[in-house]
Amino acid sequence: MLGIIGGTSLLFADLPPLTKETVSTPFGRAEVYTGEFALLMRHQFGLPPHRINYRACLAALAILGVDRIVAFGSAGSLRAAITPGSVVVPSDYLSITDIPSIHDYRIEHIRPELDPELCGILSELVPQAHNGGIYVQTRGPRIETVAEVKALAKVADIVGMTVASEATLALELGMRYAAVCTVDNYAHGIGEELLTYEHILATSREYCGRTEEILKKIVERLA
């Protein structure tokens, strides 16, 4: 079963008709919209990135039978060449903050990755996307400082607050994971515009039609 995880980039999109379910997990409850695929909005209950119950969200998808996930993530660009309004299909990720795990009481190691096959399919479905590159996760909810952006740009291409946590938990729960990242802004200090949350929302709203089309293609191919 296909699972879709949405965030800021899907806030303004018209979504397919689905039925809302509340799924109880060992880590808490999560709301999932179900039909021919499962859709989970990561900021449910109004939670900012650093307070999302990632373990409950990913466990709920696993309980529903999801075996592959495509996540939509809002990101900031660490490269002048990756302009706001771009789309990136990252090939790897790193985190400079804690990543949750379902393994609290035993030693268990996974080999983390963004699924190469799913990444390849996404590259086919979104030919205008920048293919490959590194996603780096920060904690949020604040944006990064200029100094942090300069440091992160030495090792990554885009920055966000969610994908690394989701990808790691998905693998721990036996689900393949890949991401489509919409670039809503230049990271702090890269561009000349004043970076605010309202600016990020405005870019997401501007490209909502394209996001809807990308979602439609993914569902048609993978659901």
So what's the pLDDT on residue 105?
A: 80
Residue 119 pLDDT exceeds 90: yes
User: Is the pLDDT confidence value at 167 over 90?
Assistant: yes
Segment 41-58 mean pLDDT: 91
Contact 134, 94 (CB under 8 A): yes
- Using CA atoms, how far apart are residues 121 and 2, in angstroms rounded to an integer? 13
Dist. CA 140–CA 167, nearest whole Å = 17
pLDDT band at 204 (very low <50, low <70, confident <90, very high): confident
User: Of 111 and 199, which is predicted with more confidence?
Assistant: 111
For residues 26-46, average pLDDT? 94
CA distance 182 to 8: 9
pLDDT grade for 146, boundaries at 50, 70 and 90 = very high
pLDDT tens profile 169-191 = 999 999 999 999 999 999 999 98
Average pLDDT, rounded, for the chain: 92
Q: Is the pLDDT of residue 197 over 90?
A: no
Question: What is the C-alpha separation between 180 and 69, in angstroms, rounded?
Answer: 11
Distance CA 182, CA 204 (A): 8
Predicted local distance difference test score (pLDDT) of residue 155: 97
pLDDT value of position 29: 97
Q: Is residue 59 scored above 90 in pLDDT?
A: yes
The yes or no reply on domain 2-222 and CATH 3.90.660.10 is no
The pLDDT value given to residue 191: 81
Do the Cβ atoms of 110 and 100 come closer than 8 Å? Answer: no
pTM confidence score: 0.93
CA separation, residue 38 to residues 25, 43, 74, 140 (Å): 16, 16, 20, 26
Q: Which residue, among 22, 26, 42, has the nearest Cα to 34 in the 3D structure?
A: 22
In sequence order, which ranges of the chain are alpha helices (DSSP H)?
54-63, 116-125, 146-152, 163-172, 197-206, 208-222
* Alpha-carbon distance values, 67 to 16, 96, 131, 192, 215 (Å): 20, 27, 23, 42, 18
- Exposure class string for 150-172: b at 16+ Cβ within 10 A, else e: eebbeebbbbbbbbbbbbbbbbb
The predicted structure's pLDDT at residue 206: 80
Domain ranges of the chain: 2-222
Rg over CA atoms, the chain: 16
Local confidence band at 112 (pLDDT 50, 70, 90 cut-offs): very high
pLDDT score, position 201: 75
Low-confidence winner among 44-58, 67-81, 195-209 (lowest mean pLDDT): 195-209
Q: Which of 6-15, 134-143, 155-164, 210-219 has the lowest mean pLDDT?
A: 6-15
